[in-house]
Structure 1
Amino acid sequence: MIVYCAAAACAIGVVLVASRLVRRWKGVDDPDPDGPTTAHTGAMLSALFLLAFAIAVVVPWTTADAARSNTYAESQAISEAYWAAGRLPPPDARHVQAGLGSYVALVRGPEWRLMERGRLSPRGQEQLDGLRRDVIAVKADTDELKDARAAVLDHFTAISAARAQRAMDARTTPPQGLLAVTVLTGLAVVLLPFLSGARPRGASLVPLSLMAALLAAGTYLTVDISHVFSGALAVRPDAFTGLQAELQRIAGGG
């Protein structure tokens, strides 16, 4: 942040030095609100706001889409592990399948609420690690059981990889500097007529007020969608809600 402030201060210094130099050379005073300086500044501020606004919207939107796809990949890996666990000896199969059902309930409930604050429950990883150790400990006396155990472990690897990606998605937000630039350029665009010396009155305040309202709504949108698991673009636990019903169907022999 210090570097950004220093860069801004240097830019202001360049403007002040340039204004002094121009006074010594040939130049025309430009005090009018609709003069070339204000026109140039307004166009650049509008362009900067649109650029920052576009990035602040596109980045979270893309991240949310990727995070949503990852939740379905994780739920699919859990479903495949549940199916594969059925090939283990009956006591081990029931234990692993019950553990997977408990893991899904944890993710869909308490862990999802934690993800809104950017973190995952440590209990989820503990459950996965415990189930993985239990599968490794399964006695495999035949090639068929060895293959079944290996298949379950492969699916657990996929679940862990998807979980790690979900943890990263929960912590991902746009750079704070980007949101700050969006807010500041939006304010500058709204206040530019007043800063340039114009005094809007009567009907001219209507379009200015409308623009200010829309800019404020757009700026708030960039803040509201900045987190993947909360706000307007929040990823919901739909994949795990559907998975719970699927696991119940599989357990019932459907």
Structure 2
Amino acid sequence: MYIVSVVSVIGGIAFAFVLGKLFGKGHRAASGEFSGQALSLIGGVLLSSFIMLTGFQVAGSWSALSTARARTYDEARALTDTYWAAGGLPDTNRTKVRALLKQYTREVRTVEFPVLAKGHTSPEAWQTLDQARAALSTTSTTRPDQQTAKAAAQSSLATVYQTRTDRAAQVQSGMPLITWLALVVAGGFLIAFPAILGLIDKPRNLVGLCFVGAAVAFAICLTAQLNHAFRQPFAVRPTAFSFAEARFQQMDS
């Protein structure tokens, strides 16, 4: 799957090796003495590589997190639209459809969201939503206003299905594994670079290196936490469905 990426990495290593062999035989290279500008250049290249990989990870993960949060509000809004449209159905059907919509919203908030972090959705919530669609489909309407209400409720319920399916697909989504490997390798070499050159010969330099290690580890940990939209500590919360339940109560009154 990652053959092209692996070949690219090997090609980059080979290119750097050839350049090192061709241009690394001077007196300064043999003695191991480098100017401050040369060290700054190498360190800057390493730091830029790590920042580029980290930025790519954070941007992608944050975008996915924002999209997942927005879709929960889209689903909750579609639920309230369905609930409102169901008010125009015949009395028996209206009571049944609205009761199932309430049950589904409660199950998503209390049952499904805790298991989203484990990578799957709630079968019970799916079943309740299917029951709501079946109850709406079998509703017999005779008056034009009832037919309009049924059509509006079915349209809004279709939006609920669409947003729920998107949420189910995003539960197991994340950044590719190869980007994580590249990030860890770049971070490790960034930390090891001063030690490899023998620059950690004083306690204060060691303290500075420890700070770099802490910053790199924190950056990798942060990107990992942002990678899954429904896992703590940055998980999407069921606030939208609590809002939907409050709207149900307002419509009932």
With structure 2 as the length reference, what TM-score do the two structures score? 0.89
Aligned amino acid, residue 202 of structure 1 = P
The alignment partner of 2:175 has SS state of coil
- Could you say if the C-alpha distance between residues 211 and 87 of structure 1 is closer, same or farther in structure 2, counting changes exceeding 3 Å? same
Q: Residue 104 of structure 1 aligns with which residue?
A: 105
Q: Residue 53 of structure 1 aligns with which residue?
A: 54
Per mean C-alpha deviation after superposition, the further-off stretch among 166-175 and 41-50 is 166-175
The alignment partner of 1:218 has SS state of helix
Question: Could you report, residue by residue, the CA deviation over 1:69-94 in whole angstroms, capped at 9, with x for unpaired residues?
Answer: 11111111101111111111111111
Post-superposition shift, 1:19? Answer: 3.1
- Could you say if the C-alpha distance between residues 33 and 239 of structure 1 is closer, same or farther in structure 2, counting changes exceeding 3 Å? farther
- Check conservation: 1:38, 1:196, Cα contact below 8 A: no
Q: Residue 168 of structure 1 aligns with which residue?
A: 169
Post-superposition shift, 1:38? Answer: 4.5
Question: Could you report, residue by residue, the CA deviation over 1:82-115 in whole angstroms, capped at 9, with x for unpaired residues?
Answer: 1111111111111000000110011112211221
Aligned amino acid, residue 196 of structure 2 = L
Q: Distance in 1 between matches of 2:155 and 2:231?
A: 32
Q: How does 1:225-244 map to 2 (within 5 A)?
A: 225-244=226-245
Whether 1:217 aligns to 2:194 is: no
- Check conservation: 1:119, 1:167, Cα contact below 8 A: yes
Q: How does 1:137-148 map to 2 (within 5 A)?
A: 137-148=138-149
The alignment partner of 1:118 has SS state of coil
- Could you say if the C-alpha distance between residues 133 and 33 of structure 1 is closer, same or farther in structure 2, counting changes exceeding 3 Å? farther
Q: CA RMSD in A?
A: 2.1
Whether 1:32 aligns to 2:32 is: yes
Q: Residue 150 of structure 1 aligns with which residue?
A: 151
Q: How does 1:110-149 map to 2 (within 5 A)?
A: 110-149=111-150
The alignment partner of 1:173 has SS state of coil
Whether 1:198 aligns to 2:193 is: no
Q: Distance in 2 between matches of 1:212 and 1:225?
A: 20
Q: Distance in 1 between matches of 2:210 and 2:233?
A: 25
- Could you say if the C-alpha distance between residues 3 and 200 of structure 1 is closer, same or farther in structure 2, counting changes exceeding 3 Å? farther
With structure 1 as the length reference, what TM-score do the two structures score? 0.89
Give ranges in structure 1 of 5+ residues lacking alignment.
none
Post-superposition shift, 1:196? Answer: 2.5
Q: Distance in 1 between matches of 2:28 and 2:90?
A: 90
Q: Distance in 1 between matches of 2:245 and 2:135?
A: 22
Q: Identity percentage over the alignment?
A: 26
Whether 1:177 aligns to 2:164 is: no
